Amino acid sequence: MPAPPPTRRTAHVDLQGKPAAWGVAEETAIEIGFNGEPWTVMMATPADVEDLAIGLAFTEGAISSAADVADVSVKVWPEGITADLAVDTRKLASAALRRRALEGVTGCGLCGVETLAQAMRHPAGGAVETVDITDAAIARAFAALPAHQPLNAATRTVHAAAWCAPDGTILTAREDVGRHNALDKLIGGLLRAGGPQEPGFIVVSSRCSFELVYKAAAIGASLLASVSAPTGLALDLARAAGLALACQGPGGAVARFATEGADA
């Protein structure tokens, strides 16, 4: 059975008194497992499923790199999609597998400060250097992001996450109905390509929530830039990780948040 398309078309839209076609983003149940055993189920856009599976496994600490995964078997069923990762059991973190199985019933689960340090693993190939990112680079990434959101252009529904060079050039991006799924897909894509090998930062189309900070820290980003401002917990976790945060401010200005020391 072929994978469902990420969007469908509908004519039941009225724009200024005229019927118009509109893209509707699909949301599909995707079961991720290891060696034939289910691990968790995500509601996600049915695209870049391999990236989602590897990215989530990495950011949850179940694997330490994409090299741990010998194969990803993706199958489509009437009920949804399964993605099974073939991983040597000696390379699987059993504690992470148990945690996700327990917390998945209530959402992404709270990964507190104590586990954040464990999450900051560098991808295979060497440590990613942290560099200072200028306001101009952040503004360039924000301005360029819509051009990397074809699904959102058709649906006005989905989020995006992009990896950017230090000067703000977007190098790769992923989209999904879930903001954390989009970031996991981006991270999985980066890991499958053997990177990131060079410094860079992440820009996302959503608010900055704690799980996005957790995931950006895991991949070694120099900064996380979000369209909307961070939550208080996101600030706390960013301080623990040493991760710089920024968002779009009034009038398109870049707003930076203190992630060192106490709030002013």
Contact 32, 83 (CB under 8 A): yes
Q: Write the Ramachandran bin of 190: left for phi over 0, alpha for psi from -120 to 50, otherwise beta.
A: alpha
* pLDDT tens string 212-236: 998 999 999 999 999 999 999 889 8
Token output for 172: 């790769």
- DSSP letter string, 48-107: SHHHHHHHHHHHTTS-SSGGGEEEEEEEEETTEEEEEEEE-GGGS-HHHHHHHHHHGGGS
Q: What is the pLDDT of residue 262?
A: 45
The strand order across the sheet containing 159-164 reads 170-176, 159-164, 201-204, 223-226, 244-248, 254-257
* pLDDT tens string 169-227: 999 999 999 999 999 999 999 999 998 989 999 999 998 988 899 899 999 999 999 99
More confident residue, 12 or 126: 12
Angle at which helices 210-219 and 232-241 pack, to 10 degrees? 20
How many other β-carbons are positioned within 10 Å of the β-carbon of residue 251? 5
Residue 259 has pLDDT above 50, yes or no: yes
Cis peptide before 196 (omega within 30 of 0): yes
CA dist., res. 237 & res. 66, Å (int)? 25
Point out the residues that are catalytic.
108
The residue-averaged pLDDT of 97-125 equals: 45
Residue 96: closest CA among 34, 35, 22:
34
Going along the chain from its start, the domains and CATH numbers come out as 28-113 (3.10.20.10), 135-257 (3.40.140.10)
- pTM strictly above 0.85: yes
* pLDDT tens string 120-161: 444 443 456 789 999 999 999 999 999 999 999 989 899 999
Residue 90 has pLDDT above 60, yes or no: yes
